[in-house]
Amino acid sequence: MIFMIQRKELEMILENLAEHPAPRISLEQYTIPATTAATILYIACYTYGDIDGKVIFDLGCGTGRLGIGAAILGARRVLGVDIDPVAITLARRNSEIAEVSEVTEWMLCDIRFFSGKCDTVLQNPPFGVHRRGTDVMFLQKALEMGEVIYSLHKSGPDIRNFIRRFVERNNARIDTLIELKLPLKATYPHHKKKYKIISVDLYRIVRRG
C-alpha cells in the first residue's frame, strides 16, 4: 500500500540531508536539487507505480537523495552505488537521519564492476562533459539491470536522438520524456553565479520483453 507523503514534505526531508563537502569536478559531482529529486520521485511513484514495493538501484547515488526518497515512498529495498567513499559515507548517514536505513544499502563500487537485477533504476548520471562517454556508460549499465529506468540527461535534439537510438539498440524504448529545469548551485571555483539553470530531460525507459 502506498504511503502518501506530500510532495513539499518529501522535498523538505531531502533538502535537509547532508551534501558532499568537497565534490570533485573529475567525477562531475553535483547534489541533485531537492525540488528536482522530489519531482522525479513523485512521477515514478504516483504516476507510474515504479517505487512502492519495488527493488530500486540508485546508480551514482552521491549522498543518496534519490535512493532515500524512494525508500521514504515505500520501496522494498534500495541499493545505492557510488565510486566515492565520502559520498557513500554521507549516504549511509543520511539514510539514518531519514530513518530508512533498514531498507537501504550503500555500496562503494565502480558501476562498471557492479551487477544485479532490480525493478527500477533511478539515476542522475554525469553528463559526460568532463569524462566523455560516462553518461552512456551509466545508461548501458542501467539497461542491463532495470526493468524500468529513470535517467536524467542534458537536453538537446542531438542528445535526444542519440539516446533514442542507443535505447532501441538495447532492446528497450523511451516511454516518456519530461523536460525539466535544473537549478544548480555554484559548486566549483570557476562557477561565478550563485545558481545556474540548465535544461535537462528526464527519460522513463522500459525494457522490451
Lowest mean pLDDT among 143-152, 167-176, 180-189: 180-189
Q: Rounded to whole angstroms, how far apart are CA atoms 126 and 153? A: 8
Query: What confidence score (pLDDT) does residue 188 get?
Result: 46
Q: Rounded to whole angstroms, how far apart are CA atoms 139 and 121? A: 10
> Domain 32-207 classified CATH 2.60.40.290?
no
Q: Pull the grid cell for residue 184.
A: 544548480
Query: What confidence score (pLDDT) does residue 100 get?
Result: 97
Reported confidence tier of residue 1, pLDDT bands at 50, 70, 90: very low
Q: Rounded to whole angstroms, how far apart are CA atoms 177 and 199? A: 13
Distances (CA, A) of 42 to 1, 23, 47, 168, 198: 15, 27, 7, 26, 21
Task: Read off the pLDDT of residues 92-109 as tens digits, 9 standing for 90 and up.
Answer: 999 999 999 999 999 999
Q: Rounded to whole angstroms, how far apart are CA atoms 87 and 64? A: 8
Question: Is the entire prediction scored with pTM above 0.85?
Answer: yes
